[in-house]
């Protein structure tokens, strides 16, 4: 697979052709030797549902793959559009004569409604964000 984002994980459960994989999501400074001192590091475990490319068992070390394009789409949907919506809504509500507080509140409500809309279409979006898993070499 070309242009993929890869993470190493451990299979926690196998269900048909799907596997639940635990990966450690770490920030860039989590591996730094001074990370314990500065408290800026962050490491969390994530569980991902992924389609198996080959048979595997619980406990296998695997690679979780997702297309890089899907990563960029996720950034666009989660950060870029809401930011642009927020700025446009504040400008529009201020332009029609609302006070700054009311314009800001209305803009935040607009962004909240956007996220509710994303949640409503999550099944359709999940098809675009498919994860695959294969045994690591």
Model pLDDT for residues 58-80, shown as the tens digit of each residue: 988 998 888 878 778 888 999 99
| Assigned token pair, 27 | 């920030």
Longest C-alpha distance within the chain, in Å? 62
pLDDT over 90 (residue 91)? yes
Average pLDDT over residues 49-62: 88
- pTM of the complete model beyond 0.75: no
Q: Where are the domains of the chain?
A: 4-28+41-135
Helices (H), the chain: 35-38, 68-75, 81-95, 100-120, 122-126
Angle among Cα 84, 4, 76 to the nearest 5 degrees reads 5
Q: What is the pLDDT of residues 39-48, one digit of tens each?
A: 444 557 888 8
């Amino acid at each position: 697979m070309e242009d993929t984002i890869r993470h190493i994980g451990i299979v926690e459960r196998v269900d048909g052709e799907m596997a639940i994989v635990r990966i450690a999501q770490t920030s860039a400074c989590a591996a730094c030797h001074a990370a314990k001192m500065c408290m800026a590091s962050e490491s969390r475990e994530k569980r991902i549902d992924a389609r198996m490319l080959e048979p595997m068992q619980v406990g296998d070390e695997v690679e979780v793959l997702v297309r890089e394009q899907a990563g960029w789409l996720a950034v666009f949907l989660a950060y870029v559009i809401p930011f642009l919506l927020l700025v446009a809504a504040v400008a529009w509500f201020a332009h029609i004569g609302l006070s700054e507080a009311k314009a800001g509140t209305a803009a935040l409500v607009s962004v909240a409604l956007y996220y509710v809309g994303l949640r409503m279409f999550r099944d359709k979006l999940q098809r675009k964000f498919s994860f695959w898993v294969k045994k690591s070499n």
